[in-house]
Structure 1
Amino acid sequence: MLDAICRMDKLSQTVYSVFQFQRLDEAEIERLRQHLYCPACAGKAYFRKASKDGKAACFGSRYHQLDCREFKPSASRQREEQDASEVNQLIVDSDALRIDFSKHASSHSTKAKTAATATGNRVSEPAAPMPQTAHSPITPPVKESTPTPSEASIPTPDKRIAREGLEKLLHSLLRGSELASSDLWVYTDDKYRWRAKNLFVNFSQASPTDNGAPRMYWGTISHTDKAMLWLNPADCKDVGIPIDGFKEELQQRFAIEHRRDLEGAGIILFGKCFWNKEKTRKIIQLWNRDISRMQISLAEEG
């Protein structure tokens, strides 16, 4: 997109071309970028800065209406729509869902390996997905307390328990599947289960939980800080995701080279939400800093 609407409130809005917007000073860009929308369909938009390797600054959106003139169908968009359809069918056909955190994202594995080869780094092969009938115990987190949902039970063999990785679940949520409002039981390991509507929480609805109980938080990334130590979700100004403890591992896994790669990206993570000391900002911390419990889906250019 070459233009975007900046709407600070219902009464005032400004149309910026990408050339005008990128000329604003850094502080003004950071202030306005959470309020960008597609000028044609009003879908939430993001801004990407120009990169050092020659990529131009641009506006983009993951939320175009299908009939929007700015919408450019792509293979990744079609895959996301298909994932949403399949998850909706899964909700109908299954008694429960087991999240397979060992299932790596197919869309990033090849790219990550290529990037690592170019830099001389070695990327471990993805762990083989667990068999459909297996329920292997998961080692409990070392640095976190054990999740304590009120809804806990051991799955019974006769139940139809589907198994799916984070990539498809994230895509389905971004494309409006019914997962976040479903009563489907979702297992995060062999022991703990949650109603999907209580487990999946959009960043804009995030709030600290009792006893630090974890949730699956999801949405899109607006931008990062200059040092790329924090991820700032879109649609909310008071939420931050610290990544300083596993930044390099995250960059390698998702083939992230620059800050701009994360602008507009979809993200889902299993973590806990709590206030900072001043109670001015909510922090969502990845559970045990285990990046297998985080999925990032990079946005396309434009």
Structure 2
Amino acid sequence: MDIATCVEDGQTYFATQFAQLDAAELELKRRQLICSECRNPAFFRKESRDGKGACFGARPHADGCSLAVEDSGLSVPGFGDEQEGLTNFGNRIVVDLDFGAALPIEHIDQVPGAPRRPRSGPFTGGDGLGTANLHRRLRPLLRLLVEAPNFQYSDMIVEVANQPEMMVRDFFVHCSNAGFAQFNQFRGFWGQLTDARNGANGALWLNSGGQGDMSFCLPFEHQAVVMERFGIENKEEFAGAYILVLGTLRVSQNGKMLCFIDDAAMMALL
């Protein structure tokens, strides 16, 4: 969208006008943007390397907001039948962290004493005696969290190596919902980023909102791998991206909620 409002000064900006702010003012105000119509949180993205102009986007727009049409180019592509397959109750998700390797074949675990069933993918079918083990990497799971609203509230089991099994609704936590209940807990934190900032010791801070919202710390030693894996050339391209990180929620000395990205394989971006 072309316009957004900054709650810090109450002004409504055109994207081209906002892009001309000095660096310090832009970094301050870009984390305090809202949609001028529906008032939902917004983000700013500078002109991209492929020639697309500077623009704003919402995270997301409220239902019925007319400015949502302008964000069509920023939406996540459809996920098709995968949504239905993964939201079948009784399915079990095994998170695969081995980036680039072939995924194991999906199969149905046999219920003791039940007639033998073929291994036939994510749908149990028939009388439903089987339970589908679905091996999924982080990026497809992030797509589901973004596109299938009911998925994040389901009671399907999530299995992550060396971690206790949990239900989807307990394991995946939106950044806006992160709080005391998750402190020092290993979870899948996800949401949309407002911006990225350079920090001490070469770290890159990926922010999901203002000071009261959680951020992700990407240490210098993991940045090259992440940038190459997701086709990112500069920190500006993190603005508006969706992120999923498997990690532990911490609190800094000044009360800032944060999650360190200790392993590049433990994150995904869209």
Same fold by TM (over 0.5)? yes
Moved more, 256-265 or 20-29: 20-29
Residue 39 (structure 2) pairs with residue 45 (structure 1):
no
C-alpha RMSD of the superposition: 3.3
Q: Secondary structure at the match of 2:255?
A: coil
> 1:211 and 1:38 mapped to 2: Cα distance?
31
In structure 2, stretches of 5+ residues that fail to align are: 110-128
Letter of the aligned partner of 2:45 in structure 1? R
Letter of the aligned partner of 1:183 in structure 2? D
* Structure 1 moving runs of 4+ over 6 Å: none
Match of 2:245 among 260, 269, 274: 269
> 1:190 and 1:220 mapped to 2: Cα distance?
27
Match of 1:232 among 203, 207, 211: 207
In structure 1, stretches of 5+ residues that fail to align are: 105-125, 136-156, 298-302
Q: 1:87 to 1:234 in 2, by over 3 A?
A: farther
Deviation per CA, 1:186-207, whole angstroms, max 9, x where unpaired? 1113773101111011112223
Aligned to 2:235: 259
Q: Secondary structure at the match of 1:167?
A: helix
Aligned to 1:115: none
> 2:181 and 2:67 mapped to 1: Cα distance?
41
Q: 1:39 to 1:238 in 2, by over 3 A?
A: closer
TM-score, length basis structure 2: 0.76
Q: More relative contact order in 1 or in 2 (CA 8 Å, sep 6+)?
A: 1
Aligned to 2:115: none
Aligned to 1:33: 30
Aligned to 1:96: 92
Q: 1:281 to 1:75 in 2, by over 3 A?
A: closer
> 1:78 and 1:55 mapped to 2: Cα distance?
17
Aligned to 2:54: 57
* 1:97 Cα deviation from its structure 2 partner: 1.8
| Native 8 Å contact 1:219 1:234 kept in 2 | no
* 1:231 Cα deviation from its structure 2 partner: 1.0
* 1:75 Cα deviation from its structure 2 partner: 8.2
Letter of the aligned partner of 1:87 in structure 2? Q
Aligned length: 246
Deviation per CA, 1:207-262, whole angstroms, max 9, x where unpaired? 36678331000001111114662111136644221112301111111111011111
| Native 8 Å contact 2:31 2:195 kept in 1 | no
> 2:89 and 2:228 mapped to 1: Cα distance?
36
| Native 8 Å contact 2:57 2:74 kept in 1 | no
> 2:160 and 2:67 mapped to 1: Cα distance?
40
Moved more, 212-221 or 178-187: 178-187
> 1:293 and 1:236 mapped to 2: Cα distance?
24
Moved more, 165-174 or 57-66: 57-66
